[in-house]
């Protein structure tokens, strides 16, 4: 990689630490693997990206924002599949102490050990007793689940309840479905967004911000009726050429609208969300030529997904997955429904009520009950399946296997018309999930600009104006004669304007101050000089062009 060859990545990382964008967390204790601080500059950048993300998706008009706990009961993540899917089953060689994955050890002896449960792995391990790859002994400890989620106990002592710190924000939104459904007056489609932290106890966090143990994520869960016709306007994305990698085709170029027409992107809403993701990334200053869409292979898909796309961004670490758009089907709501018995259904009204006419037999409870006792329920089911022309007495075989004789006094005609106006179903979910840290990394990576200045490297952070950590830097040319007071007055005025961040800097030569401001991407530097004291005009210097214009202070504050 050329980045590494010329040291750009190294210089970038140094600058991020020095200027307070990103730094290893708890540094005075030696740091902690996979944990990062957004520093004095990065903190503001992060919150602006989060806000921009929320604003972007709230535009859909049928989205609510949620904030769910990070501490999550065990059962929730068991139902979601995370307890099973996020675990590796480990066993230790009693001879040499080497830990191995049980499924890996059994691979030569079983077609698909990855799919086995813990008990099955344990049994197989005992019976097959494979050799330790390290020392060739065959003496294994019990199989234990090593989970990628952080364990915790909710409550203390014996009354404590097992839990995890969430590995994603999604589950809280699924378990909140009834409340969201009510909020939207029971009309699909609608969605919930959440920006928050997720936690995964990664075995080997690497590559700076790319794989973290605590990370910022932003997810939208969009609930749809799988049978309702979808009207999506993909025309905004009919011109941008994008690189695709799909299941069957190697890399090719197309547009989102075309890829949907061609059946590569299956669901129109998935296509729409891919388009909106593309727009968001572009708004954040990600170079669109460094974005590509990759469809998951079928065997690569996570346990919940039906169709899944990665949006990858090219940066100093190569192509990195930064966003996933997954069609999760009904997997999540159905899992939680099964685990709790609570209704997570939505109702679909028929265009016309459906009438079902029943003209057959049913039981006479007053006689069937005393006669058949415990079998009465099964008798009812059997009798109602009999054709209308059945003559009694007759013999029927029950679902229990018993054969009973049904007498005329046990039955009566059953004639009724059932009117159904609609049906209940489990909504499907389409989920765009954003790794905010990875996106911020690439925003920084793409914005980081080096130029040559008298043989030295000059750094400019060309971040998008909408997300810059500092909007204005205010410099008095000299900190005397009242220039410092006027500068401070302007700085304070900026700071009292909602949403505006200003930085006062009176230290060092003016050129040095410009350089410091450029390095953290301040778009406008304002200098107060002698003339400012006369006529309240100041110099505004543009970050990217270096151009200076003279304007009045009052026009800046409007």
Partner RNA sequence: GCGGAUAUGGUGAAGUGGUAUCAUAGGAGGUUUCCAACCUUUUGUCGUGGGUUCAACUCCCGCUAUCCGCACCA
Residue ranges in contact with RNA by CB under 7 A: 14, 17-18, 24, 30-34, 85-86, 88, 99, 148, 200, 202-208, 211, 296, 300, 302, 310, 321, 324, 453, 456, 458-459, 477-480, 507-512, 514-516, 518-519, 527, 529-530, 539, 541, 546-548
Residue pair 298/266 in contact (Cβ under 8 Å)? The answer is no
CB 263, min distance to RNA, A: 22
CB 298, min distance to RNA, A: 12
Pairing status of strand 472-476 against strand 502-504: parallel
CB 546, min distance to RNA, A: 4
Q: Which helix (H) or strand (E) holds 52?
A: helix 42-58
Rounded-to-integer distance, Cα 54 and Cα 52, Å: 5
Rounded-to-integer distance, Cα 396 and Cα 403, Å: 6
CB 431, min distance to RNA, A: 11
In the bound state with RNA, the residue whose beta carbon lies nearer, of 415 and 451, is 451
Nearest to 41 by CA among 546, 501, 507, 545: 501
Nearest to 172 by CA among 309, 332, 328: 332
CB 271, min distance to RNA, A: 20
At residue 90, the 3 state secondary structure works out as strand
Please give the sequence-ordered ranges of beta strands (E in DSSP) within 398-470, or none if there are none. Answer: 403-406, 411-425, 428-435, 448-453, 456-461
In sequence order, the 6+-apart residues with CB closer than 8 A to the CB of 529 are 477, 483, 538, 539
CB 411, min distance to RNA, A: 57
At residue 275, the 3 state secondary structure works out as helix
Rounded-to-integer distance, Cα 283 and Cα 281, Å: 5
CB 345, min distance to RNA, A: 27
Residue pair 130/113 in contact (Cβ under 8 Å)? The answer is no
Adjacent-strand bridge partners of 100: 91
CB 453, min distance to RNA, A: 6
In the bound state with RNA, the residue whose beta carbon lies nearer, of 201 and 254, is 201
CB 65, min distance to RNA, A: 23
In the bound state with RNA, the residue whose beta carbon lies nearer, of 180 and 209, is 209
Residue pair 19/519 in contact (Cβ under 8 Å)? The answer is yes
Rounded-to-integer distance, Cα 360 and Cα 387, Å: 6
In the bound state with RNA, the residue whose beta carbon lies nearer, of 320 and 443, is 320
In the bound state with RNA, the residue whose beta carbon lies nearer, of 366 and 457, is 457
In the bound state with RNA, the residue whose beta carbon lies nearer, of 209 and 379, is 209
In the bound state with RNA, the residue whose beta carbon lies nearer, of 8 and 348, is 8
CB 541, min distance to RNA, A: 4
In the bound state with RNA, the residue whose beta carbon lies nearer, of 34 and 285, is 34
Residue pair 71/198 in contact (Cβ under 8 Å)? The answer is no
Residue pair 59/187 in contact (Cβ under 8 Å)? The answer is no
DSSP state letters, 192-261? EEEEEEEE---SS--TTTTS-SEEEEEEEEEEE-TTS------GGGSS--EEEE-SSS-SEEE-HHHHHH
Rounded-to-integer distance, Cα 111 and Cα 238, Å: 45
Rounded-to-integer distance, Cα 83 and Cα 338, Å: 16
CB 301, min distance to RNA, A: 8
In the bound state with RNA, the residue whose beta carbon lies nearer, of 186 and 481, is 481
CB 553, min distance to RNA, A: 13
CB 400, min distance to RNA, A: 44
Tokens standing for 496? 């009292």
In the bound state with RNA, the residue whose beta carbon lies nearer, of 24 and 482, is 24
In the bound state with RNA, the residue whose beta carbon lies nearer, of 261 and 321, is 321
Tokens standing for 488? 């401070």
CA distances from 252 to 201, 244, 247, 389 (A): 36, 5, 12, 65
Pairing status of strand 252-254 against strand 291-295: unpaired
In the bound state with RNA, the residue whose beta carbon lies nearer, of 120 and 261, is 120
In the bound state with RNA, the residue whose beta carbon lies nearer, of 235 and 509, is 509
In the bound state with RNA, the residue whose beta carbon lies nearer, of 76 and 322, is 322
Q: ∠465-470-474 over CA atoms, to 5°?
A: 115
Pairing status of strand 456-461 against strand 448-453: antiparallel
CB 313, min distance to RNA, A: 13
Rounded-to-integer distance, Cα 150 and Cα 167, Å: 8
């Amino acid at each position: 990689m050329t980045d590494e060859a010329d040291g750009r990545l190294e210089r970038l990382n140094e600058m991020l630490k020095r200027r307070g964008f990103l730094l290893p967390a708890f540094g005075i204790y030696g740091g902690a693997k996979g944990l990062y601080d957004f520093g004095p500059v990065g903190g503001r950048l992060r919150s602006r990206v989060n806000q921009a993300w929320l604003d972007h998706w709230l535009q859909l008009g049928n989205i609510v924002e949620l904030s769910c706990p990070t501490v999550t009961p065990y059962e929730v993540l068991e139902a979601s599949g995370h307890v099973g899917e996020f675990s590796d089953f480990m066993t230790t060689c009693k001879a040499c102490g080497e830990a191995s994955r049980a499924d890996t050890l059994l691979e030569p002896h079983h077609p698909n050990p990855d799919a086995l449960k813990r008990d099955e792995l344990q049994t197989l391990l005992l019976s097959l007793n494979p050799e330790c790859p390290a020392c060739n002994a065959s003496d294994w400890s019990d199989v234990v689940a090593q989970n990628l989620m952080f364990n915790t106990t909710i409550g203390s002592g014996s009354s404590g309840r097992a839990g995890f710190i969430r590995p994603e924000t999604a589950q809280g939104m699924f378990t909140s479905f009834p409340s969201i459904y009510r909020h939207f007056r029971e009309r699909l489609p609608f969605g919930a967004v959440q920006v928050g932290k997720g936690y995964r106890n990664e075995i080997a966090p690497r590559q700076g911000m790319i794989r973290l143990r605590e990370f910022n994520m932003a997810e939208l869960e969009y609930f749809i009726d799988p049978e309702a016709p979808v009207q999506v306007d993909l025309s905004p994305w009919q011109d941008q050429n994008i690189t695709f990698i799909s299941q069957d085709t190697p890399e090719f170029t197309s547009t989102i609208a075309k890829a949907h027409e061609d059946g590569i992107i299956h669901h129109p809403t998935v296509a729409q969300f891919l388009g909106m993701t593309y727009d968001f990334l572009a708004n954040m200053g990600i170079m669109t030529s460094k974005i590509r869409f990759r469809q998951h292979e079928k065997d690569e898909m996570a346990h919940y997904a039906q169709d899944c796309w990665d949006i990858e961004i090219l940066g100093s670490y190569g192509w990195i997955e930064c966003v996933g758009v997954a069609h999760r089907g009904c997997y999540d709501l159905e899992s939680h429904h099964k685990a709790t018995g609570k209704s997570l259904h939505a109702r679909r009204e028929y265009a016309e009520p459906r009438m079902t006419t029943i003209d057959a037999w049913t039981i006479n409870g007053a006689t069937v009950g005393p006669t058949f006792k415990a079998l009465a329920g099964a008798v009812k089911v059997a009798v109602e399946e009999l054709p209308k022309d059945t003559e009694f007495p007759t013999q029927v075989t029950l679902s229990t296997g018993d054969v009973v004789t049904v007498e005329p006094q046990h039955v009566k005609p059953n004639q009724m018309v059932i009117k159904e106006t609609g049906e209940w179903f489990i909504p499907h979910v389409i989920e765009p999930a954003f790794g905010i840290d990875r996106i911020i990394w690439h925003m920084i990576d793409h914005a980081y600009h080096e130029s040559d200045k008298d043989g030295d490297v000059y750094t400019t952070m060309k971040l998008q104006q909408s997300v810059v950590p500092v909007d204005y830097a205010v410099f008095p040319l000299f900190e005397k004669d009242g220039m410092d007071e006027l500068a401070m007055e302007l700085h304070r005025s900026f700071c009292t304007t909602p949403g505006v961040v200003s930085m006062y800097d009176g230290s060092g030569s003016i050129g040095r101050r410009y350089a410091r401001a450029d390095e953290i991407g301040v778009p406008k530097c304002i200098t107060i000089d002698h003339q400012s004291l006369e006529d309240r005009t100041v110099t505004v210097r543009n970050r990217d062009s270096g151009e200076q214009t003279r304007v009045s202070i009052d026009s800046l504050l409007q």
